[in-house]
Each structure stands twice: as structure tokens, then as C-alpha cells.
């Protein structure tokens, strides 16, 4: 096995027979010598676990933070997006499967150490670094090193994560991460089991833990007709968000893109996205967004008087009218939002 450039993993124990046990995600893989865990990017080399994509991003991109999506964190800024191979789940509808599912040795990468990532983000005028494209927990030690380096600067760090991560390691993995967008696949145990090879209860517990750590949190669900778009499931999900994370937690409902192993289901239209968004609003969520250009749920409004505070055309940022107090200019109601101004 070639482990050139790999970094030793942080969360594992070695066993007497040469196997290693990984503690990073709830799969808890037991990995024999020369083999990799389910995520494909953690390999047992002579009884030691290595992350084989450390410093080896396969995708780099500059994006508007709203397009990720993230609406209440550094609005109107650009983010430096980075991703490697590897994921802790296996979603049938993954729309970055060409990055996530390939074995690390089959995927072209750009060698980039943490200092170089930070330098590139700053040179490009970004306000943040986003760990996206693949599941950042799969390459946790690299994300930790980059975010630690970024913490020396003005840059913020964001994780776009499935939250399928073991609770005991969350504090270490997300120590220098300021915001997270958790991709909720469905509010159905069976959907997680059958289509994602993950577990909903683990995801919800870890999402709560991220909130308790004080990260700015937003949630996103790709709406898949017939699989996760029932009114009943949306009511249950919105009620859980309201009661567990708070009614100010932004929820993004974006259209599923037929891809990977799920190509026979049609993309949802704006009308069905907006109907679900209205359902979530009726359960008490204050900031629900539809991820289509013509959705009626694109702007950020004061939840009390309805004044538009951040105007968007689809997910494109257009203008912001939020004073430094982060209160509605008309009625004084506070808006949950993180920007560059001191709190
Ligand atoms: S991070 Fe990878 S190796 Fe570790 S338990 Fe999860 S899937 Fe297995």
C-alpha cells in the first residue's frame, strides 16, 4: 500500500491482531491490515490508521456563500471551497459522487498543505473557507489542521456535513469551525438506512451537539419526490428543529438533482418545494428557504413584521438592510445572523 503523503489518523485504537478500530463515525469500522474503512480514505498500514487524503483536495472552488447554501452567515461574501475524496455515508442520490466515491488513488488531487489553503483563501478575498463537496468528517484531521491555521487569521471556517460523526470526537473535530450546514437526508429512519447507509438518530444527536458547541447552524434537505417530501415528515422535522435547535434555525429546501444511483425520479418543481416550505413555517420555523430561482421563499424577512432584511434573487445575494444592532429597522425584532461586524 502506498501511503506517501498520508497523515496518521487521530481517532483509532490498534488491536493485538493488527486490526485497527476507527472511532470517528458511528460505523466504527474494524479495519484489517492493508484495508480501508467504509469511507475509503482511512487505511490500516501495519496496525496504524492513516488518512490517505491529508493535504490532497480533489476540488477547489470560489463560491458565493449563499450558493452553498448558507444565508445567515457572512452574507454577500465569497467562500473558498475545498473537498477531498471520501464520505462516511453512501447516498444513492449523491451529486458529487465523482469526487466522493472514487478511490483516493484514482482521483486527481492538488497537493495543498493547510498554510497554502489559508493563503489561497485570503489571496482571493474570501471571508471563509468551506469544507464541502465531500463529507468533511471523512477527512477530519485535514479539516482540523486547515481550520486551526485559519484561526490565526480573520478567516472563518464552515463545514457542510452530514453530521454522521461519533459524539465523543465532535468537540475536537469542530473545535475551530464557526458554522455548519447539516444536510438532513430525510426525517425517516428507513430512508437513512436504505438510501444513505446512515442512521437518523446518530445524525440528530450530533446535530444537537454541534448546536451546543455554539456553531452557527443551518440545515438543508434535498427534496426527493415520493421519498422524503410527505407533509407528515416535514411537520415532524420542523417540530424537531423548533423544539431542539430553536425556531430561528434556518432550513433550506433545495430540489434534488437526479444523479448517481437515483436517476429515475423527477426533480421537484417550485410549487412542491414552496408547499413544503409553508408547512415548515406553519410549524413555527422563522426562516425557511426554497432553493429554486422562482421560489416565494428566497428573502430573509423579519419574522414579526415581514420587512425584507436580506434580498435575494433565487439564492443570489442582492442587498442587505440590517443595521449593526442586527434588529429589524422597522420593529426592532432581533435577526439571528453572523456578519463581519462585532456583536
Ligand atoms: S470514518 Fe471511515 S473508517 Fe472511520 S468508522 Fe467512519 S467509515 Fe469507518
Q: Report the separation in Å between the CA atom of 302 and the middle of ligand 1, taken as the mean of its atom positions.
A: 42
Residues 186, 43 share a domain: no
Gap from CA of 29 to ligand 1 centroid (Å): 5
Classify residue 342: in a domain, yes or no: no
> Is 136 in the same domain as 218?
yes
Average pLDDT over residues 69-88: 97
Q: How confident is the model at residue 3 (pLDDT cuts 50, 70, 90)?
A: low
pLDDT at 102: 74
Residue to probe by mutation, ligand 1, list 8, 42, 136, most atoms within 8 Å of CB:
42
DSSP β-bridge partners for residue 161: 182
Q: Residue 180: what pLDDT?
A: 98
Q: Are residues 11 and 95 in the same domain?
A: no
Which atom of ligand 1 lies closest to the CA of 37? 3
What is the position in ligand 1's atom list of the atom closest to the CA of 36?
A: 3
Residue 306 within a domain: no
Residue nearest to atom 3 of ligand 1 (CA): 37
Tell me the per-residue pLDDT of 129-162, one tens digit each, with 9 for 90 and over.
999 999 999 999 999 999 999 999 999 999 999 9
CATH code for the domain of 127: 3.20.20.70
What integer is the mean pLDDT of 166-192?
97
Residues 6+ apart with CB under 8 A from 297: 253, 274, 277, 288, 289, 290
Which atom of ligand 1 is found nearest the CA of 9?
Answer: 4
Given a cut of 50, is residue 196 above it in pLDDT? yes
What does the pLDDT look like over 92-123, one tens digit per residue? 999 999 888 777 778 888 999 999 999 999 99
For CA atoms 69, 126, 75, 293, the dihedral sign is: negative
46 and 73 together in one domain: no
**pLDDT higher than 50, residue 2:** no
Ligand 1, pocket-test mutation among 20, 22, 84, most atoms within 8 A of CB: 22
pLDDT at position 200: 98
Does residue 317 lie within any of the structural domains? no
**Residue 2 within a domain:** no
Which residue owns the Cα nearest ligand 1 atom 6? 25
pLDDT tens digits along 302-342: 999 999 999 999 999 999 999 999 999 999 999 999 998 77
The answer to whether residue 301 sits within a structural domain is: no
Residue with CA nearest ligand 1 atom 2? 39
The pLDDT tens digits for 219-270 are 999 999 999 999 999 999 999 999 999 999 999 999 999 999 999 999 999 9
Rounded to whole angstroms, what are the CA distances from 164 to 88, 96, 169, 202, 206? 7, 17, 11, 6, 7
Co-location of 84 and 195 in the same domain: yes
Site to substitute for ligand 1 among 21, 36, 37, 135, most atoms within 8 A of C-beta: 37
Measured in Å, residue 30 CA sits from the centre of ligand 1 at: 9
Tell me, yes or no, whether 167 and 186 share the same domain. yes
Q: Are residues 257 and 233 in the same domain?
A: yes
- Which of ligand 1's atoms lies nearest the C-alpha of 138? 1
CA pair distance 161, 25, nearest whole angstrom: 12
Is 153 inside any structural domain? Answer: yes
Based on the fold, state whether residues 87 and 26 are members of the same structural domain: no
Number of compact structural domains in the chain: 2
Residue 264 belongs to a domain:
yes
Q: Are residues 14 and 162 in the same domain?
A: no
**What are all long-range contacts of 189-195, with beta carbons under 8 Å and residues at least 24 apart?**
191/227, 191/228, 195/91, 195/92, 195/93, 195/227, 195/262
Q: Domain check: are 153 and 34 in the same one?
A: no
Q: What is the pLDDT of residue 104?
A: 74
Mean of the pLDDT values across residues 204-231?
A: 97
Q: Which residues line ligand 1 (CB under 6 A)?
A: 22, 24-25, 27-29, 37-39, 42, 88, 138
Share of the chain above pLDDT 90, in %: 92
Compute the radius of gyration of the chain from its Cα atoms. Answer: 20
Q: 51, 68, 87 — which closes off a domain?
A: 51
What's the confidence (pLDDT) of residue 157? Answer: 98
pLDDT at residue number 61: 97
Q: How far is the CA of 289 from the centre of ligand 1 (A)?
A: 32
pLDDT value of position 5: 58
- pLDDT value of position 343: 67
The Å distance, Cα 107 to ligand 1 centre, comes to: 19
- 24 C-alpha vs ligand 1 centroid, how far in Å? 6
Report the pLDDT averaged over residues 274-294: 97
CA distance 196 to 320: 37
Residues 106 and 147 in one domain: yes
Question: Count of CB atoms within 10 A of residue 261's CB?
Answer: 12
Cα of 179 to ligand 1 centre, how many Å? 23
Check whether residue 107 and residue 42 sit in a common domain. Answer: no
Residue 334 falls inside a structural domain: no
Range of the domain at 248: 59-295
pLDDT of the residue at 17: 96
Residue range 29-70, pLDDT digits in tens: 999 999 999 999 999 999 999 999 999 999 999 999 999 999
For a ligand 1 pocket test, name from 21, 25, 91 the mutation site with the most ligand atoms within 8 angstroms of its C-beta.
Answer: 25
Determine the pLDDT at residue 1: 39
Amino acid at each position: 500500500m502506498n501511503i506517501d503523503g498520508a497523515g496518521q489518523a487521530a481517532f483509532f485504537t490498534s488491536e493485538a491482531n493488527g486490526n485497527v478500530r476507527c472511532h470517528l463515525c458511528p460505523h466504527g469500522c474494524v479495519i484489517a491490515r492493508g484495508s480501508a474503512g467504509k469511507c475509503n480514505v482511512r487505511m490500516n498500514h501495519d496496525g496504524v490508521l492513516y488518512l490517505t487524503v491529508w493535504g490532497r483536495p480533489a476540488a477547489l472552488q470560489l463560491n458565493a456563500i449563499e450558493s452553498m447554501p448558507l444565508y445567515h452567515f457572512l452574507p454577500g461574501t465569497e467562500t473558498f471551497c475545498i473537498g477531498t475524496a471520501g464520505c462516511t455515508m453512501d447516498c444513492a442520490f449523491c451529486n458529487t459522487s465523482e469526487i466522493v466515491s472514487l478511490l483516493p488513488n484514482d482521483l486527481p488531487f492538488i497537493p495543498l498543505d493547510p498554510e497554502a489553503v489559508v493563503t489561497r483563501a485570503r489571496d482571493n478575498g474570501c471571508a471563509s473557507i468551506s469544507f464541502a463537496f465531500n463529507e468533511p468528517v471523512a477527512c477530519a484531521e485535514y479539516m482540523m489542521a486547515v481550520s486551526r491555521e485559519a484561526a490565526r487569521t480573520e478567516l472563518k471556517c464552515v463545514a457542510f456535513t452530514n453530521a454522521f460523526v461519533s459524539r465523543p470526537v465532535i468537540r475536537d473535530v469542530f473545535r475551530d469551525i464557526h458554522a455548519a450546514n447539516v444536510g438532513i437526508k430525510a426525517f425517516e429512519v428507513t430512508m437513512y438506512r436504505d438510501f444513505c447507509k446512515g442512521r437518523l438518530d446518530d445524525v440528530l444527536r450530533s446535530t444537537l451537539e454541534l448546536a451546543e458547541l455554539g456553531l452557527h447552524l443551518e440545515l438543508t434537505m434535498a427534496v426527493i419526490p415520493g421519498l422524503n417530501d410527505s407533509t407528515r415528515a416535514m411537520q415532524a422535522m420542523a417540530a424537531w428543529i423548533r423544539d431542539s435547535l430553536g425556531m430561528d434555525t434556518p432550513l433550506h429546501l433545495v430540489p434534488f438533482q437526479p444523479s448517481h444511483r437515483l436517476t429515475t425520479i423527477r426533480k421537484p418543481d417550485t410549487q412542491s418545494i414552496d408547499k413544503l416550505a409553508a408547512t415548515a413555517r406553519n410549524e413555527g420555523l422563522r426562516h425557511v428557504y426554497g432553493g429554486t430561482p422562482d421560489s416565494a421563499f428566497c428573502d430573509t424577512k423579519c419574522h414579526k413584521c415581514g420587512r425584507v432584511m436580506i434580498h435575494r434573487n433565487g439564492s443570489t445575494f442582492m442587498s442587505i438592510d440590517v443595521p449593526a444592532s442586527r434588529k429589524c429597522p422597522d420593529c426592532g425584532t432581533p435577526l439571528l445572523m453572523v456578519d463581519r461586524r462585532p456583536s
